[in-house]
């Protein structure tokens, strides 16, 4: 039997769940300058204000319709709002599970002309036909009396804001499609088209791997919208700028599409490919669960599976900073409750709480899979899709009360995170303020060797910086080597090792550069510039396989580093890829 039998697909499932995603181990230390123009132009007020943003913002004109709560089971009857009919509630039930064919049939059966017009506009939103949606929904709103507060008008106003926001966010966008037709990417800025081949390659792997794991292979194109400013997520979702700033949200699955910020507008890039797959897991899980899985279950599965497209058999591991957060929360009995994760992790009040929520959900679902096998996850999804309460479904798969599982989970994770209290803080994430070079590494600015203290090591290192900035590379190497020799603690200092390793690369001394770059990479494996340097050193020393792995790390974080494409071109195994990478190569 096919591996798909691990998670056999339930009948007639068509759904996808809107959920935000903050990258693993990344926070939200956000520069706000990049968003000032959006706010100043009034481009952000259209969506509901769920919390006060950090800068002046007019009040929203509409709130999200009550009949489509993100956490409500799709199988439950959708509540009516004011004068909305039972037939329209059935229409919204189909929309909430993203079954647009059924929604179309139910729309056609509506007898009220305004409800039918509203339904047409909503279907256009979910089909990404934004101008049509705006035209139709504008007519609904314009046709209402001034004092009208009926459900049709309120719902039309909400979706009209979505249609307008999407057009403002995308502007004169370009669209690229994968060769197999399964995925399409829409880019607000044509510079981000560079992402397309890497996105499509990753998603092809995710389609196969996760399709087998979760038991869902979508039969329609999956749409990605890639934005060139973080504030554009606030234009197209119920999130506010404050939500985005606070939790570092960079990707969302909602309205039957995946919406993401380009890594080009991030100072350090971010794990954009894992984020894309994370959101795709939400897409698949919601199709599998009929849009009934609550936020904590969605986030747990998405975090658990977001790297399986590239590491199918990888064991669950939390980054050091996340382990520390979870350990301290367990010790202090200050966990984020499952209820607090609703309606969205992106709406938690701090980066640390969002990261903690992800860690809790991920390890809970991971422990269930570890101890009861993948069939337990399949059983949970099937039960939830059938209307069983999520905690009860989880308990049934575990074989005991949910509280009993929770006690085992706390004991297990307290043991597994022991010793993490000395781990460093979460890595921050920052957006660019303007048009800085996306290939530049801002971590090299400032006094990066202040941690070496006031002895000889720091003095030699600072002199090395000055010499390298003046182009005296060979002299800078001498000073860095003297810094390493001056103090035993500086010998394997990752920052010093990185600087020296990169200078050796400039001097075409790759064999001397590589061991130093490996020291630095062990300390900062997600740094794309460092990964690119390691890839070059490995290639020049004959380790093509290792070079490909290092360069893949760089691409997953920031493919806008021009030099890495030179190495990718040199390592390409076919002429088409070589030509593509060569066109992007800039030394």
Please write the tens of the pLDDT for every residue from 138-188. Answer: 999 998 765 455 889 999 999 999 999 999 999 999 999 999 999 999 999
For 444, 457, 477, 494, the CA distances from 465, given in Å and listed in that order, are 10, 12, 10, 15
Give CA–CA dist 121/134, Å, rounded: 7
pLDDT (0 to 100) of residue 48 = 29
Position 35 pLDDT exceeds 80:
no
77-84 contacts at long range (C-beta below 8 A, 24 or more positions apart):
80/151, 81/151, 81/154, 81/155, 82/149, 82/150, 82/151, 82/154, 83/150, 83/151, 83/152, 84/115, 84/151, 84/152, 84/155
Residue in 65, 63, 60, 62 with CA at minimum distance from that of residue 78 = 65
Give CA–CA dist 296/344, Å, rounded: 9
DSSP assigned state of 229: S
Tokens matching residue 211: 């399709």
pLDDT (0 to 100) of residue 426 = 64
pLDDT (0 to 100) of residue 467 = 93
Mean pLDDT of 438-456: 65
Residue in 402, 386, 242, 421 with CA at minimum distance from that of residue 338 = 402
Q: State pLDDT tens for residues 79-89.
A: 345 578 999 99
Burial 394-422 (b: 16+ CB within 10 A, else e): bbbbbeeebeebbeebeeebeebbeebee
Residue 308's pLDDT band (cuts 50, 70, 90): very high
Position 285 pLDDT exceeds 70:
yes
- E strands, 114-153, where? none
Position 431 pLDDT exceeds 80:
no
Q: State pLDDT tens for residues 418-429.
A: 987 655 566 655
Residue in 82, 139, 85, 140 with CA at minimum distance from that of residue 107 = 85
Mode of pairing for the β-strands spanning 19-21 and 251-254: antiparallel
Mean pLDDT of 62-68: 50
pLDDT (0 to 100) of residue 314 = 76
Do the Cβ atoms of 285 and 302 come closer than 8 Å? yes
Share of the chain above pLDDT 90, in %: 68
pLDDT (0 to 100) of residue 82 = 55
Bridge partners of residue 223, in order along the sequence: 184
Question: Residue 162, class by beta-carbon neighbours within 10 Å (0-12 exposed, 13-18 middle, 19+ buried)?
Answer: buried
Tokens matching residue 315: 């064991």
φ and ψ at residue 258, rounded to 5 degrees: -110, 125
C-alpha distance across the termini of the chain, in Å: 51
Residue 15's pLDDT band (cuts 50, 70, 90): very low
Do the Cβ atoms of 353 and 81 come closer than 8 Å? no
Hey, is 74 helix, strand or coil? coil
Bridge partners of residue 261, in order along the sequence: 227
Average pLDDT, the chain: 84
Tokens matching residue 286: 């919601």
CA angle 173, 179, 181 (to 5 degrees): 75
Tokens matching residue 293: 């899985």
Q: State pLDDT tens for residues 325-382.
A: 999 999 999 999 999 999 999 899 988 999 999 999 999 999 999 999 999 999 999 9
Three-state SS for 360-409 is HHHHHHHHHHHHHCHHHHHHHHHHHHCCCCHHHHHHHHHCCCHHHHHHHH
Mean pLDDT of 34-49: 30
Q: What is the CA radius of gyration of the chain?
A: 25
Bridge partners of residue 177, in order along the sequence: 184
pLDDT (0 to 100) of residue 114 = 94
pLDDT (0 to 100) of residue 424 = 59
Q: State pLDDT tens for residues 182-199.
A: 999 999 999 999 999 999
Hey, is 111 helix, strand or coil? coil
Question: Which residues have C-beta within 8 Å of that of residue 360, sequence separation ≥ 6?
Answer: 296, 300, 326, 329, 335, 336
Residue in 212, 267, 294 with CA at minimum distance from that of residue 433 = 267
Do the Cβ atoms of 262 and 366 come closer than 8 Å? no
Question: Which residues have C-beta within 8 Å of that of residue 37, sequence separation ≥ 6?
Answer: none
pLDDT (0 to 100) of residue 488 = 86
Position 49 pLDDT exceeds 70:
no
- E strands, 489-565, where? none
Q: State pLDDT tens for residues 230-255.
A: 889 999 988 888 888 788 889 999 99
Do the Cβ atoms of 455 and 291 come closer than 8 Å? no
pLDDT (0 to 100) of residue 432 = 64
Residue 219's pLDDT band (cuts 50, 70, 90): very high
HSE value, Cβ hemisphere, 13 Å, CA-based, for 270: 32
Position 546 pLDDT exceeds 80:
yes
pLDDT (0 to 100) of residue 196 = 98
pLDDT (0 to 100) of residue 450 = 72
pLDDT (0 to 100) of residue 241 = 82
């Amino acid at each position: 039997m096919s591996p798909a039998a691990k998670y056999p697909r339930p009948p007639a499932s068509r759904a996808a769940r809107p959920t935000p995603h903050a990258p693993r181990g990344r926070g939200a230390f956000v520069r706000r300058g990049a968003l000032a123009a959006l706010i100043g132009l009034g481009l952000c007020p259209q969506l509901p204000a769920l919390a006060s943003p950090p800068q002046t913002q007019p009040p929203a004109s509409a709130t999200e319709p009550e009949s489509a709560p993100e956490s409500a089971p799709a199988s439950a009857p959708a509540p009516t709002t004011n004068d909305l009919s039972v037939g329209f509630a059935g229409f919204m039930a189909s929309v909430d599970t993203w079954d647009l064919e059924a929604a179309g049939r139910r729309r056609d059966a509506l007898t009220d002309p305004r409800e039918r017009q509203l339904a047409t506009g909503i279907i256009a939103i979910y089909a990404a036909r934004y101008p049509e949606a705006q035209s139709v929904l504008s007519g609904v709103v314009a046709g209402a009396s001034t004092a009208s507060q009926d459900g049709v008008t309120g719902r039309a106003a909400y979706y009209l804001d979505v249609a307008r926001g999407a057009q403002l966010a995308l502007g004169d966008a370009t669209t690229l499609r994968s060769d197999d037709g399964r995925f399409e990417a829409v880019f607000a800025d044509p510079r981000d088209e560079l992402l397309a081949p890497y996105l499509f390659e990753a998603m092809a792997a995710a389609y196969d791997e996760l399709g087998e794991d979760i038991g869902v292979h979508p039969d329609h194109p999956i749409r990605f919208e890639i934005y060139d400013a973080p504030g554009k997520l606030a234009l197209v979702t119920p999130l506010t700028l404050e939500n985005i700033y606070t939790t570092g949200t960079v990707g969302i699955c909602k309205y039957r599409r995946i919406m993401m910020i380009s890594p080009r507008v991030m100072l350090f890039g971010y794990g954009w490919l894992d984020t894309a797959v994370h959101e795709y897991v939400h897409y698949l899980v919601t199709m599998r669960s009929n849009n009934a899985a609550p936020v904590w279950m969605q986030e747990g599965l998405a975090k658990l599976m977001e790297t399986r497209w590239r590491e199918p058999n990888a064991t669950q591991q939390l980054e050091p900073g996340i382990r520390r957060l979870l350990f301290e929360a367990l010790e202090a009995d200050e966990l984020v409750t499952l209820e607090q994760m609703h309606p969205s992790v992106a709406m938690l009040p701090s980066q640390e709480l969002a990261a903690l929520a992800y860690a809790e959900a991920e390890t809970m679902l991971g422990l269930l899979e570890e101890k009861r096998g993948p069939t337990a996850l399949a059983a949970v999804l099937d039960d939830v899709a059938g209307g069983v309460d999520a905690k009860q479904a989880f308990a049934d798969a575990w074989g005991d009360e949910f509280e009993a599982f929770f006690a085992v989970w706390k004991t297990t994770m307290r043991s597994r995170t022991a010793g993490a209290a000395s781990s460093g803080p979460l890595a921050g994430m920052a957006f660019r303020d303007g048009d800085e070079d996306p290939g530049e590494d801002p971590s090299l600015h400032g006094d990066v060797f202040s941690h070496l203290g006031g002895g000889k090591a720091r003095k030699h290192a600072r002199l090395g910086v000055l010499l390298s900035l003046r182009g005296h590379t060979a002299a800078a190497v001498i000073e860095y080597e003297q810094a390493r020799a001056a103090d035993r603690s500086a010998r394997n200092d990752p920052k010093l090792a990185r600087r020296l390793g990169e200078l050796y690369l400039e001097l075409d001394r790759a064999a001397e550069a590589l061991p130093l770059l490996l020291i630095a990479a062990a300390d900062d494996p997600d740094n794309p510039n460092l990964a690119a340097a390691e890839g070059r050193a490995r290639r020049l020393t004959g380790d093509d396989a290792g070079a490909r792995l290092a360069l893949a790390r760089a691409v997953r974080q920031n493919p806008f580093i021009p030099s890495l494409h030179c190495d990718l071109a040199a390592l390409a195994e076919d002429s088409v890829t070589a030509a593509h990478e060569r066109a992007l190569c800039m030394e």
